[in-house]
Amino acid sequence: MGIFYAALGVYDSLALLNSILFIQFLPSLGISLPAMSHFACHFFSIYRRTAIQTPSWMLVIITLDRFRSVCYPTKFKFMEKKKFILKVIVFLFLAIFLLNADHGWFYLVIRQTNQINFDPLLNTSTNTTIKKKICTASPLLLSITDIKMVFMRSYIPFTLMLFLNVKLSRVFLLSKKKFRPKEHDKKEYSFTTTVLIMNLVFFVLYLPWSVWYAVWTAFKFVPGAMTSQASAQLRLCRSILFSVAYLNNCSSFFVNFFINFQFRKELMDIFRVIKKKKVSSTIIQSTDNSSSK
């Protein structure tokens, strides 16, 4: 579980970095990495979708591991070996990267937009033509990649986790008393409870965004439904719900801190070691100063 949590932390960090860099920080500076070259257009398009989708599938793997541990504790022991776990983590990233390889057909285009600048002192307006490179694709490919991204990030992991959680919760609740007597069983109980709550948080945070996408797609195919007012309202909802969905990438730490006593204990041990090292270095430094005097 420690290795799985570390991998989830890394993948969550990549997803958050994707949001901070590509969606917020760099665009505010007028920088677009995908528009730098044809290779950058292909690579960053694939990488960004991979970074967004990987945390959801890492959570599916963690849920599957809990499912195996609780429902089949004496079977599939090879899944507990570190080498196998590391291979699964690396394979997950590579598999999702390859599944998004259709972004390799994206290309750079130059689009012109007219910008009107008003000078209040001279009471004049000037029309400026701005040329901008954009990494895009054909309308059909854009629709396919968007639909696939939503299914890979939300719908398919949602369905798999729901199936595993129904079976896992049933077995877990029936055997709950067995987890209490021994220390090892308490850890299993704590980890399983944490995973169930992490799945619940995933459902709560991703469901509104998933519903929004279904509504957005339906509006686009209904003639006359996508008015300018409806489009503006849906885009505003998208910004809010997209940000809410990204909260899932920083929720696992807080869920583990409040629910998982083993995680809390390990975290406190890290702080104690850091504090002890600081105290030791202070004592050594004061001793050296006394000796020099």
- In this prediction, residue 196 carries a pLDDT of 83
Per-residue pLDDT band at 49 (split at 50, 70, 90): very high
Q: Measured between alpha carbons, how far is 213 from 150 in angstroms, rounded to an integer?
A: 8
Per-residue pLDDT band at 96 (split at 50, 70, 90): very high
- In this prediction, residue 98 carries a pLDDT of 93
Q: Measured between alpha carbons, how far is 235 from 242 in angstroms, rounded to an integer?
A: 10
Containing structural domain, residue 217:
1-269
Beta partners for residue 117, in sequence order: 126
Contact residues for 63 (Cβ-Cβ < 8 A; gap 6+): 160, 161, 164, 165, 168, 195, 199
- In this prediction, residue 46 carries a pLDDT of 93
- In this prediction, residue 23 carries a pLDDT of 81
CATH code for position 231? 1.20.1070.10
- Residue identified by tokens 């996508």 is 226
Q: Are 61 and 93 in contact (CB under 8 A)?
A: no
Please count the structural domains in the chain.
Answer: 1
By mean pLDDT, which of 33-42, 122-131, 171-180, 204-213 is the weakest?
171-180
Q: Which token pair is 288?
A: 């050296």
Q: Is 143 helix (H, G, I), strand (E, B) or coil?
A: helix
Residue 282 lies in a domain: no
The helix, strand and coil proportions of the chain, stated in percent and rounded to the nearest 5, come to 80, 10, 10
Residue 275 lies in a domain: no
For 190-233, what is each residue's pLDDT tens digit? Answer: 777 888 888 888 888 888 888 888 788 777 777 766 777 777 88
Chain centroid offset of residue 35 CA: 24
By mean pLDDT, which of 55-64, 87-96, 139-148 is the weakest?
139-148
Residue 157 lies in a domain: yes
The reported pTM is: 0.77
Q: Is a pLDDT exceeding 90 seen at residue 50?
A: yes
Residue 280 lies in a domain: no
Residue 244 lies in a domain: yes
Burial of 155 by CB count in 10 Å (0-12 exposed, 13-18 middle, 19+ buried)? middle
Q: Measured between alpha carbons, how far is 146 from 138 in angstroms, rounded to an integer?
A: 12
Q: Measured between alpha carbons, how far is 64 from 84 in angstroms, rounded to an integer?
A: 14
Per-residue pLDDT band at 186 (split at 50, 70, 90): low
By mean pLDDT, which of 70-74, 99-103, 131-135, 180-184 is the weakest?
180-184
Residue 140 lies in a domain: yes
Percentage of residues in the chain having pLDDT higher than 70 = 81
Burial of 24 by CB count in 10 Å (0-12 exposed, 13-18 middle, 19+ buried)? exposed
| Residue 97 C-beta-side C-alpha neighbours within 13 Å | 11
Residue 278 lies in a domain: no
Residue range 150-158: mean pLDDT, rounded: 89
Q: Is a pLDDT exceeding 70 seen at residue 114?
A: no
Residue 58 lies in a domain: yes
